[in-house]
């Protein structure tokens, strides 16, 4: 049994690296069904269940120091590719689709919670809040909401379970609808003539602006991320706190603003921020999973059903929005998956329509990173009141 903080950390990052490397180079069908980060969570949780490490002072101190300090750095780095000016260039139709998707997901969580509240455990609102952060942005937003609301790590098992199973079903449905885009667009009376032109401009600008990744750029970004973490925590110490707005909540909000502003400067053009942010995300997910175990997942079927209910309500809302605002199937689908799947899957759906549309999928997903944390916190506040 591991008792030292360094050995505990070494095991976690070794498992992270092994799974990430296997996902990149293996042709195993498992990774086509489940993202590597979900597999990581359950592998680490399995090791925790069999008590590979003890709950010593050294391990607890390592966990708290790393999670508390690396979380803001991760948020900052992941946001550096989300230039709001480029996102605004998507035009009103794509942004309308994205707003409709985000609102419908938030409303879906509230309605589902009210319907199932009697059968759900008292801490279910925390699980829903964390998942709403993920389904309005990405896994990084989920972790940010968890940290901001001080959601126990034990509640995150259900969140990851819903995020993987329900998300996988939703991706399959959206991909299956691609061949029916023409019929849908006739029904919604939409015009798609400008989409590919916008995509081409975005891709050309991105290729022109971004520099090559090297050791100097990576080292600078690591320093910038850690400095952003330190400054946001320092600034949060001067702000008033309440039952909802803790110091951690303020830290997350401040670093989100710093990341969004940094994306509009030369920082956003330095290569490597997404890669470094993903590394930190893997590490934080491993840390969270290391405090959970399978014995806590006693109500998994009910939570999976709850996730499906949220997606059904979201889909119905998007159909209404498509008809009212004359949105095409591509815009609706990519906006939906940019929220629910993030940068890992929105470009894949965009490519299913045309490879020229991939940049739109990427930018829509980056918009999710920007608003996902705030959206998840808002949903969490509403659900905490309703609980």
- Quick check: 387 and 116 in contact, CB under 8 A? no
* Token pair belonging to 379: 């949903």
Buried b (16+ CB within 10 A) or exposed e, 178-215: eeebeebbeebebeeeebeebbeebbeebeeeeeebee
Dihedral sign of CA atoms 145, 149, 153, 154 in order? negative
- Quick check: 386 and 106 in contact, CB under 8 A? no
Whole-number pLDDT of residue 259: 87
Helix H or strand E segment including 52: none
State the residue for tokens 């609706």: 332
Sequence length of the chain is: 387
3-state SS string for 229-284: HHHHHHHHCCCCCCCCCCHHHHHHHHHHHHHHHHCCCHHHHCCCHHHHHHHHHHHH
Q: What are the contacts of 348-355 at 24+ separation with CB within 8 A?
A: 349/171, 349/174, 349/175, 349/178, 352/175, 352/178, 353/178, 353/181, 354/196
* Token pair belonging to 104: 């419908």
Alpha-carbon distance of 345 to 360, in angstroms, equals 12
Identify which of 202, 190, 231 has the alpha carbon closest to the alpha carbon of residue 81. 202
Residue boundaries of the structural domains of the chain: 82-271+297-386
Per-residue model confidence as pLDDT tens digits over 253-270:
888 889 888 888 888 888
Render 133-196 in DSSP notation, one character per residue: HHHTT-HHHHHHHHHHTT--GGGHHHHHHHHHHHHHHHHHHHHHHGGGHHHHHHHHT---TTHH
Q: What is the DSSP letter of 120?
A: S
- Quick check: 332 and 322 in contact, CB under 8 A? yes
Render 304-352 in DSSP notation, one character per residue: HHHHHHHHHHHHHHHHHHHHHHT--HHHHHHHHHHHHTGGGTHHHHHHH
Whole-number pLDDT of residue 383: 92
Whole-number pLDDT of residue 344: 66
Those residues of the chain that have pLDDT short of 50 are none
Whole-number pLDDT of residue 36: 80
Q: What is the DSSP letter of 299?
A: T
Whole-number pLDDT of residue 128: 92
Per-residue model confidence as pLDDT tens digits over 195-254:
666 666 666 655 555 567 888 889 999 999 999 999 999 998 898 877 667 787 788 888
Count the helices and strands in the chain (H runs, E runs): 18, 0
Can you give the pTM of this predicted structure?
Answer: 0.77
φ/ψ of 273, rounded to 5, equals: -65, -40
């Amino acid at each position: 049994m591991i008792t030292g903080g360094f050995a505990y950390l070494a095991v976690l990052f070794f498992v992270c690296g092994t799974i990430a490397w296997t996902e990149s180079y293996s042709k195993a069908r498992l990774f086509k069904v489940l993202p590597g980060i979900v597999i990581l969570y359950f592998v680490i949780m399995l090791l925790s269940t069999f008590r590979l490490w003890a709950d010593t002072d050294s391990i607890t101190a390592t966990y708290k120091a790393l999670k508390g300090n690396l979380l803001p750095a991760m948020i900052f780095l992941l946001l550096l590719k989300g230039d709001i000016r480029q996102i605004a260039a998507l035009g009103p139709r794509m942004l309308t689709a994205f707003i409709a998707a985000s609102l419908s997901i938030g409303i879906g969580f509230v309605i589902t919670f009210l319907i199932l509240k009697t059968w759900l455990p008292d801490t279910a609102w925390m699980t829903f809040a964390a998942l709403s952060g993920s389904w309005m942005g990405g896994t990084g937003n989920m972790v940010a909401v968890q940290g901001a609301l001080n959601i126990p790590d034990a509640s995150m098992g259900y969140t990851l379970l819903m995020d993987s199973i329900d998300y996988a079903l939703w991706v399959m449905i959206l991909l299956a609808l691609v061949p029916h885009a023409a019929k849908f667009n006739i029904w919604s009376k939409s015009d798609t003539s400008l989409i590919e032109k916008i995509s081409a401009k975005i891709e050309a600008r991105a290729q022109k602006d971004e520099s090559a990744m090297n050791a100097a750029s990576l080292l600078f970004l690591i320093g910038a991320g850690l400095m952003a973490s330190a400054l946001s925590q320092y600034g949060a110490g001067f702000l008033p706190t309440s039952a909802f707005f803790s110091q951690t909540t303020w830290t997350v909000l401040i670093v989100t603003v710093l990341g969004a502003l940094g994306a509009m400067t030369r920082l956003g053009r330095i290569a490597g921020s997404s890669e470094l942010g993903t590394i930190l995300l893997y590490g934080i997910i491993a840390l969270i999973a290391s405090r959970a175990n399978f014995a806590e997942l006693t109500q998994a079927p009910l939570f999976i059903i709850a996730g499906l209910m949220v997606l059904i309500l979201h889909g119905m809302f998007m159909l209404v929005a498509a008809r009212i605002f004359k949105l095409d199937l591509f815009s609706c689908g990519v906006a939906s998956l940019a929220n629910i799947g993030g940068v890992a899957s929105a470009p894949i759906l965009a490519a299913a329509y045309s490879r020229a549309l991939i940049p739109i999928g990427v930018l829509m997903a980056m918009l999710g990173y920007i608003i996902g944390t705030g959206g998840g916190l808002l949903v969490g506040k509403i659900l905490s009141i309703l609980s």
